[in-house]
């Protein structure tokens, strides 16, 4: 179930971040024109996610894998993908919401200068992005995603 990879259209930036946290490889292009997005989808064998019905119809005519998401709300979008693809939250595969890099669990002692004190005191598990060095913990975002997708 965890092997889906996505191309997320420019209207769905929040969804891209949530998918990455949930453990799905998600490429996100802001402001890329439709033809390029379709090319990328064809060349990458990823599933294109879009809220643009016309773009969706074009992708279907080209025989590309794509899913049309009607809702503007990220939780509803995730629920839709859960129904359609069996999407689930995979803590061990979590990716960087900012850059899609792989996260590595890192000892608290190594991040203590990088994390606000409040978070340092409230959480015991921390992750660092191998690409952009962003530091993450299981804050409110995580809880919302777990509620929506269910834990594994
Ligand atoms: Zn990153």
Compute, in angstroms, the gap from residue 18 CA to the centroid of ligand 1: 14
pLDDT digits (tens, 9 = 90+) for 88-134: 877 778 899 999 999 999 999 999 999 999 999 999 999 999 999 99
Give the pLDDT score at 149.
Answer: 81
Say if residue 87's pLDDT is above 70. Answer: yes
Compute, in angstroms, the gap from residue 129 CA to the centroid of ligand 1: 5
Q: What angle do CA 99, 50, 40 make, to 5 degrees?
A: 60
pTM equals: 0.88
Which sequence spans correspond to the domains of the chain? 5-88, 93-139
Compute, in angstroms, the gap from residue 69 CA to the centroid of ligand 1: 26
> Within a 10 A sphere around the Cβ of 78, how many other Cβ atoms?
24
> Within a 10 A sphere around the Cβ of 34, how many other Cβ atoms?
15
- Rounded Cα distance, 77 and 143, in Å: 16
Compute, in angstroms, the gap from residue 95 CA to the centroid of ligand 1: 8
Compute, in angstroms, the gap from residue 128 CA to the centroid of ligand 1: 8
- Residue 116, phi then psi, degrees to nearest 5: -55, 145
pLDDT digits (tens, 9 = 90+) for 53-64: 999 999 999 999
- Rounded Cα distance, 134 and 121, in Å: 19
Compute, in angstroms, the gap from residue 60 CA to the centroid of ligand 1: 32
Q: How far is residue 134 from each of residues 52, 66, 128, 129, measured CA to CA in Å? A: 31, 30, 6, 5
Check: CB of residue 121 under 8 Å from CB of residue 129: no
Check: CB of residue 141 under 8 Å from CB of residue 94: no
Mean pLDDT (the chain, rounded): 91
Compute, in angstroms, the gap from residue 131 CA to the centroid of ligand 1: 5
Compute, in angstroms, the gap from residue 15 CA to the centroid of ligand 1: 16
Check: CB of residue 23 under 8 Å from CB of residue 93: yes
Give the pLDDT score at 121.
Answer: 93
- Residue 84, phi then psi, degrees to nearest 5: -75, -35
- Rounded Cα distance, 19 and 23, in Å: 6
Name the band, by pLDDT with cuts 50, 70 and 90, for residue 2: low
């Amino acid at each position: 179930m965890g092997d889906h990879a996505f191309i997320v259209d420019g209207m769905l930036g929040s969804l891209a971040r949530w998918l990455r946290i949930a453990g799905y490889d998600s490429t996100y292009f802001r402001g890329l024109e439709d033809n390029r997005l379709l090319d990328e989808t064809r060349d990458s064998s990823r599933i294109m996610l879009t809220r643009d019905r016309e773009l969706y119809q074009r992708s279907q005519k080209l025989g590309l894998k794509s899913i049309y998401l009607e809702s503007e709300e990220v939780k509803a979008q995730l629920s839709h993908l859960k129904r359609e693809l069996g999407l689930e939250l995979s803590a061990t595969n979590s990716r960087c919401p900012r850059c899609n890099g792989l996260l590595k669990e890192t000892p608290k002692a190594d991040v203590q200068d990088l994390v606000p004190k409040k978070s340092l005191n409230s959480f015991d598990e921390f992750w660092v992005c191998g690409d952009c060095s962003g530091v993450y913990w299981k804050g409110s975002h995580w809880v919302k995603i777990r509620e929506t997708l269910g834990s594994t």
